[in-house]
Structure 1
Amino acid sequence: MVSGIVLSPVVNIFVIISAAVANGQMKVSQTPESAYAVEGESFTFYCAFPLFRDQSNVTISWWKLGDTELLQSGSDGRKRFLPLKKGEASLQLLNVKADDSGVYYCGVKHPDGPIVNGTGSRLVIYVPPIPLKIISKSPENSVPGTLIVLCKTAAFYPDSINLTWYKDGLHVTKGITALKHLNSNGLYEFTSYMEVTRAAHNITCQVTHRTLPIPVRSTFFVSNRKGFFMILALTLIIADYAKHLKVKGSNNTYVEK
Structure 2
Amino acid sequence: MWKLKLVQCFAILGIVYADTSTEVFQFPISLKAVKGTNVTFHCSIPLPRDDSKVTFNWWREGEYTYLSTATDHRKLFGSKSKFSGFIHINNVRFQDAGIYHCAVQQYGYTIGNQVGSNLTVWVPPTQVKIRPRESPRGSSLSLVCEASAFYPDIIAFEWYKDGIGISTKTSVMKQRNSDGLYQARSFWEEKQAAASGSVYSCLVSHITLENPLAVTHVITYSNAGSQSSRFLMISVCIGYGLICLLFIVLIWKRHQLKDLHCCTIDLVASQPGIATANPKTVRNYEES
**Same-fold call, TM cutoff 0.5:** yes
Shift of 1:62: 0.5
Report whether the alignment pairs 1:154 with 2:148: yes
Higher normalized helix content (fraction of residues): 2
Partner of 2:108 in structure 1? 113
* Shift in CA distance, 225/103, structure 1 to aligned 2, threshold 3 Å: closer
Query: Match for 1:201 among 198, 201, 222?
Result: 198
Partner of 1:232 in structure 2? none
Report whether the alignment pairs 1:46 with 2:45: no
Shift of 1:86: 4.5
Gap regions ≥5 residues in structure 2: 1-18, 227-288
Partner of 2:74 in structure 1? 78
Task: Name the SS of the counterpart of 2:214 in structure 1.
Answer: strand
Query: Match for 1:215 among 205, 212, 216?
Result: 212
Report whether the alignment pairs 1:137 with 2:114: no
Query: Retained in 2: the 8 A contact 1:24–1:114?
Result: no
Q: Distance in 1 between matches of 2:54 and 2:73?
A: 24
Q: Distance in 2 between matches of 1:108 and 1:31?
A: 15
Q: Distance in 1 between matches of 2:51 and 2:182?
A: 49
* Shift in CA distance, 226/128, structure 1 to aligned 2, threshold 3 Å: closer
Pair member with larger Rg: 2
Report whether the alignment pairs 1:169 with 2:174: no
Report whether the alignment pairs 1:61 with 2:60: no
Gap regions ≥5 residues in structure 1: 1-22, 230-257
Query: Retained in 2: the 8 A contact 1:138–1:146?
Result: no
Q: Distance in 2 between matches of 1:75 and 1:114?
A: 25
Aligned letter for 1:223?
A: T
Identical pairs, percent: 34
State the 4+ residue runs in structure 1 displaced beyond 4 angstroms.
none
The one-character-per-residue Cα deviations of 1:164-194 (angstroms, maximum 9, x if unpaired) are: 1111112221673211123333322210122
Higher normalized strand content (fraction of residues): 1
Query: Retained in 2: the 8 A contact 1:42–1:95?
Result: yes
* Shift in CA distance, 91/173, structure 1 to aligned 2, threshold 3 Å: same
Aligned letter for 2:164?
A: L
Q: Distance in 1 between matches of 2:98 and 2:198?
A: 46
Query: Retained in 1: the 8 A contact 2:173–2:185?
Result: yes
Aligned letter for 1:129?
A: P
Query: Retained in 1: the 8 A contact 2:131–2:217?
Result: no
Aligned letter for 1:43?
A: V
Q: Distance in 1 between matches of 2:186 and 2:61?
A: 37
Q: Distance in 1 between matches of 2:168 and 2:33?
A: 36
Q: Distance in 2 between matches of 1:74 and 1:201?
A: 56
Query: Retained in 2: the 8 A contact 1:108–1:115?
Result: yes
The one-character-per-residue Cα deviations of 1:11-56 (angstroms, maximum 9, x if unpaired) are: xxxxxxxxxxxx742011000011210111110000011334547x
Task: Name the SS of the counterpart of 1:73 in structure 2.
Answer: coil
**Which stretch has the larger CA shift, 174-183 or 215-224?**
174-183
Query: Retained in 1: the 8 A contact 2:194–2:222?
Result: no
TM-score (norm 1): 0.71
